Chain A
């Protein structure tokens, strides 16, 4: 084989090898890039639980609906220092023991607190004691059951209803998906 032919052979060899390597690396990177990002939804879900567990009702009295609830006695002055999650659990207890009389208050309070609480590309659902209290769909209409990146954060909540009574422990759950 002449030197010219050998050069042609090795050049071709390098080219083929390069193509194989580039295609290979692209495959690897593409598989990583399309991997569902489950961590971000989990942090969002946990953040929402933490937010509701640490923010007091007094902190959200700038919302006119909440102020209205304080004014009309649905939220007592002593409850201003309870957390949002406790207040929701309290409304839930009152609602259950009153045969559903406080359902609107429960849902509206939850709505004004949680509305737009996550970035727009995420959908989320707040579930209390196995009942959906609030549901927000992202613009892409991603379906929860078909999502590859569904994350959930839970906590147990129980509130002092009166000095003799503590509500049964129930689960508050936030699900976030994309």
Chain B
């Protein structure tokens, strides 16, 4: 009987053992599945974070920074021009422009050639590139949990086109989603083109003491097909600019009063009555009365009229010519040098409109 009872208990034990093994297996299966799901979820969250950081980096390089550089450049050029006109000074664009763009400060090279002291340009304070980058950093950190650090190591401005500036920022960045991904960019070039139309010509504004602010406005005249005194008259009437790379300086060179020729980007406008008679009394300003200057704007303000003579010794004679009758007033006889008469505007020269330049005066 005892053996029988033990045998029955043994069979029941097998049943209970199998059941418990099964139940434990089910629990293990259940929790292992949950663990798998959790890892999958984490991977998906990580994936979305990586995608968010990637998008942010892409936008930084292709949208945010080019736009910020574009608008800050526009403002910086305007503010610099105002400062230059107010103080009657020229600047060194490669030194001063990056300072103004990033920090809204400028060293006055006329009184501080070693550039040790900076002037704060108040009008630039809200438009600094550095300020905008700080705002972007804050928003990305607070709203998207993306940590961004930017370091702009170099800013350059140059021209390869007469009607636009090319601004390039060399930038390092470190952008991360903490604990998920970090993207590091080194020496990333951010370039943007800024059209010059609408800017004040700094050369004319400074040389007229701020009395004449001529906006860069591109003429529709095509000098390849249109020639003659009528073209000159039209340019005078419109106060517009033409591309002229034989002798004309670029827009950027005008900030430095570098009046040499720019092969790629020379532009010029012509001297008009508002420049010669800034107070409108129909009497030419005394400083403009003496005559041996061509009325191409940059030549008009060459510090030394003898430059005309120097040039003439090489290729051209040293005469100036009245452009009549298309452009003529008794008070302000319009004069051009020979290269402008012959090559650029194609105005016929005669002995009647020849004005001999006396180079001995220089």
B140-151 CB mask vs A (1 if < 8 Å, else 0) is 100110000000
Chain A 116-157 interface residues, beta-carbon cutoff 8 Å to B: 154-156
Asked if B30 and A171 make an inter-chain contact with CB atoms under 8 angstroms apart, the answer reads no
Asked if B135 and A16 make an inter-chain contact with CB atoms under 8 angstroms apart, the answer reads no
Chain A residues contacting B8 (CB-CB under 8 Å) are 1
Chain B residues contacting A46 (CB-CB under 8 Å) are 48, 51
Asked if B23 and A24 make an inter-chain contact with CB atoms under 8 angstroms apart, the answer reads yes
Known contacts A28-B29, A42-B48, A163-B71; decide if A17 and B143 are in contact (CB<8 Å). no
Known contacts A35-B37, A169-B135; decide if A156 and B143 are in contact (CB<8 Å). yes
- Most chain B CB within a 10 A radius of its CB, from A1, A20, A156: A156
Residues of B within 8 A of A (CB): 7-8, 11, 15, 18-19, 22-23, 26, 29-30, 33-34, 37, 41, 44, 48, 51-52, 55-56, 59, 63-64, 67-68, 70-72, 74-75, 78, 127, 132, 135-136, 139-140, 143-144, 198
Asked if A20 and B37 make an inter-chain contact with CB atoms under 8 angstroms apart, the answer reads no
Closest 6 CB pairs of A and B: A24-B26, A166-B71, A171-B143, A164-B75, A163-B74, A169-B139
Chain A residues contacting B56 (CB-CB under 8 Å) are 156
Chain A residues contacting B30 (CB-CB under 8 Å) are 24, 27-28, 31
Asked if A156 and B18 make an inter-chain contact with CB atoms under 8 angstroms apart, the answer reads no
**Could you tell me the distance in whole angstroms from the C-beta of B226 to the nearest C-beta in chain A?**
30
Interface residue A69 (Cβ < 8 Å from any Cβ of B): no
Asked if B22 and A169 make an inter-chain contact with CB atoms under 8 angstroms apart, the answer reads no
Please report the C-alpha to C-alpha distance between residue A53 and residue B75 in the assembled complex, in whole angstroms: 27
Asked if A17 and B19 make an inter-chain contact with CB atoms under 8 angstroms apart, the answer reads yes
Known contacts A24-B26, A154-B52; decide if A164 and B78 are in contact (CB<8 Å). yes
Interface residue A170 (Cβ < 8 Å from any Cβ of B): yes
Interface residue A59 (Cβ < 8 Å from any Cβ of B): no
Complex: chain A residue closest to B11, CB-CB? A9
Known contacts A9-B11, A28-B30, A160-B71; decide if A21 and B22 are in contact (CB<8 Å). yes
